Structure 1
Amino acid sequence: MRVLHTSDWHLGRSFHRESLIEAQAAFVDHLVEVVRAERVDVVAVSGDVYDRALPPVDAVALCNEALARLVAARVRVVMISGNHDSARRLGFGASLIDAAGVHLRTDPELAWEPVVIDGVAFYGIPYLEPELVRGPWELDSRTHGAALGHAMDRIRADLARRGGPSVVLAHAFVTGGEASDSERDISVGGVAHVPVSAFDGVTYVALGHLHGRQQMSDTVRYSGSPLAYSFSEAGHVKGSWLVELSDSVQRADFVPAPVPRPVGRLRGLLDDLLDRPDLARYEDHWLQIVLTDPVRPKAAMDRLRVRFPHTLALSFDPEGGAAAVPAPRLAGRPEAEVALDFVREVRGEAASGDEEELLRAAIEASRLKEALA
């Protein structure tokens, strides 16, 4: 059996206010092509299908299209909800959709009831909020380890009766995994991690939640997200795991996904960044840039975007660090003076006449708006 393991689509997400829906649609095209070219039997989607509980309509339409195309390609789909999804909304109509070969597993109580496909038992463990399952499952603690451990104990008990190969889909933070800046914190009482040993006894574990591809063991892997969702993922290779199963994992190959626009990070003096010929390869990237000029340059973003038109984030970290200066007195001072002092401090020189006029006009407009509210 060939299983394509993917996760963390986050349909509907933007990247620093840039829409990603076209890039996500390109990933769906790629996914369907891989299914057909590699004769995939099952697509396992390990949670965070959407980016939020109430996804935008274009994200819902894209998910619908993706599932319809996979069904048309005669592949079975097993999908769980993640911590970004609304389990109730994603799981709507699950019992009816089962008949089409799309198996939505969003109810924790069904985690140990497998979908059996060609002799392989697929168990879908949706994201488990410990506080919500602690009471019904009579857990001793409100940790992810306790919640997932209970589900896995029930799964192993079912496997002991059933026998044969198995696949578990889970959405969790496994100890030793490397996080990025784009995952939502799932800490509960300071305990978010679960040990990889929690998944002992399973042929293959398809993990979701962390956005970088990772191999926690020979049989426990994260596929990561199909696109970069933060600049911390600049070095990631995005894609899916193509896993060949029999009684064990015969092989697992990573299938890279298309990169509509790469992301990158640059750091240095403004003039150097604008002049260095070796940085030409970044001119089509979405960029996060840190300027190290000792004095904050004027119109830095405008100047950067002449060469790097897709610069999205800009910050300043002067070489040598900023010298400590006494904090100016604020109480009783006019707002415009405080703001102009701030400009002088961060830029190393006073605002120009035009800038001062604009700043005073903005403060006055804000005051007038508050008075009329």
Structure 2
Amino acid sequence: MHRVLHLSDTHVSRTGPDEDGVDGLAALKRLLYDVRHVPALDLVVVSGDIADDGSREGCEAVRSEVGSFAAERGIPHIYCTGNHDRHAGFVAALGWGHLGPDGASIGRRADVPDVIAGVSVVNGLRVITLDSLVPGSTDGVLGRGQLDWLTAELATPAPAGSIVVLHHPPLFVDAVPFMESVVLRDPAALGEVLAGTDVHAVLCGHLHHQLTGRVGETPVSVTPGVITRIDLTAPPALARGVLGAGATVVDLGGPFAPMFHTVHARDHDANAEVYVYNPLTGEDVAEE
């Protein structure tokens, strides 16, 4: 059995707060403090939007906090890029994103041009990170070269199976009009690569909203955002962001696996509104 702490969307900048003025580093510290008693963790993954401004400094701040948490437990911490990240800042702070308990790089980087993807093995569990970042775009893409590399990696099963980590989910909620425009393009292509392989689950972020589904026959888990979460009680055409850091504990290998447990940090300001806007126009909205 393996247990994974899945974080995403820390959105820390070189100056600290994100573009909405929210302190993602403080939210991350609260969350890590509140999950300190979660037992038997094997690794931590952070599925993108690490630095709100794409900076090395933002990535380093997250690495410091998550790395300290991981080092205390003797477990690896593994990262992938999100749409807010930038390759230069990510690599400078995190290498290809696979770090051991001591902070040294583990595994290997994918031999795919202009892509930061990697693979490592943690107690028999293969962890594969993909790079769905399209600079300047909110949605995500996995090019043919990256999918071919993933196909080759999965051709040989791992002792304890595999998980795939990327930022942009290969699914969305039909009832929320803006979601389809911000997720992974051509999710079926990823589903075809995963079909019949040893992949237990795909772990994603980006939506700042807890969501589970499938791409083909493979389970997909979208973890809540650390910095904010999207409140889907807003009118369908609007996106309402509220405070309240969340994460997911993923259990693999048991009789009911994969299992996804959502955890929330204690926060006196949780559910306080941060923004309401129309994603189609980008305009801030005063909700009635």
Give me the whole-angstrom Cα distance separating, in 2, the residues matched to 1:125 and 1:91.
14
What is the Cα deviation at residue 9 of structure 1?
1.2
Higher RCO, Cα 8 Å, sep 6+? 2
Residue ranges of structure 1 left out of the alignment (5+ in a row): 132-142, 264-284, 290-312, 318-373
Give the one of 135, 145, 149 matched to 1:154: 149
Q: Cα–Cα, structure 1 residues 166 and 247, in superposed 2: closer, same or farther, change >3 Å?
A: farther
Taking only the aligned residue pairs, the percentage that are identical comes to 18
Contact kept, 8 Å, 1:49 with 1:82, in 2: the verdict is yes
Query: In structure 2, what is the equivalent of residue 24 of structure 1?
Result: 28
What is the Cα deviation at residue 119 of structure 1?
0.9
Give me the whole-angstrom Cα distance separating, in 2, the residues matched to 1:91 and 1:121.
21
- Aligned: 1:125 with 2:130: yes
What is the Cα deviation at residue 54 of structure 1?
2.4
Query: In structure 2, what is the equivalent of residue 171 of structure 1?
Result: 167
Q: Give the partner amino acid of 1:166.
A: S
Q: Give the partner amino acid of 1:117.
A: V
Q: Cα–Cα, structure 1 residues 104 and 118, in superposed 2: closer, same or farther, change >3 Å?
A: closer
Give me the whole-angstrom Cα distance separating, in 1, the residues matched to 2:145 and 2:106.
21
Query: In structure 2, what is the equivalent of residue 204 of structure 1?
Result: 201
Query: In structure 1, what is the equivalent of residue 279 of structure 2?
Result: none
Aligned residues: 254
What is the Cα deviation at residue 83 of structure 1?
1.6
Contact kept, 8 Å, 2:47 with 2:165, in 1: the verdict is yes
Query: In structure 2, what is the equivalent of residue 213 of structure 1?
Result: 210
Q: Give the partner amino acid of 1:3.
A: V
Give me the whole-angstrom Cα distance separating, in 1, the residues matched to 2:105 and 2:174.
29
The structure having more radius of gyration, on CA atoms, is 1
Q: Residue 171 of structure 1 aligns to a residue in which SS?
A: coil
Give the structure with the higher percent helix: 1
TM-score normalized with structure 2 length? 0.69
**Where do residues 1-373 of structure 1 align in structure 2 (5 Å cutoff)?**
1-12=2-13, 13-14=17-18, 16-17=20-21, 19-31=23-35, 33=36, 36-54=37-55, 60-92=60-92, 94=95, 98=100, 100=102, 109=111, 114-129=119-134, 147=143, 150-164=145-159, 165-177=161-173, 192=185, 194-195=187-188, 197-198=191-192, 199-200=194-195, 201=197, 202-217=199-214, 219-228=219-228, 232-233=239-240, 238-246=245-253, 249-263=257-271, 285-286=272-273, 315=286
Give me the whole-angstrom Cα distance separating, in 2, the residues matched to 1:171 and 1:8.
9
What is the Cα deviation at residue 7 of structure 1?
1.0
Q: Give the partner amino acid of 1:257.
A: A
Give me the whole-angstrom Cα distance separating, in 2, the residues matched to 1:178 and 1:28.
32
Give me the whole-angstrom Cα distance separating, in 2, the residues matched to 1:181 and 1:9.
25
Give me the whole-angstrom Cα distance separating, in 2, the residues matched to 1:230 and 1:75.
30
Contact kept, 8 Å, 1:244 with 1:251, in 2: the verdict is yes
Contact kept, 8 Å, 1:46 with 1:169, in 2: the verdict is yes
Q: Residue 32 of structure 2 aligns to a residue in which SS?
A: helix
Q: Residue 166 of structure 2 aligns to a residue in which SS?
A: strand
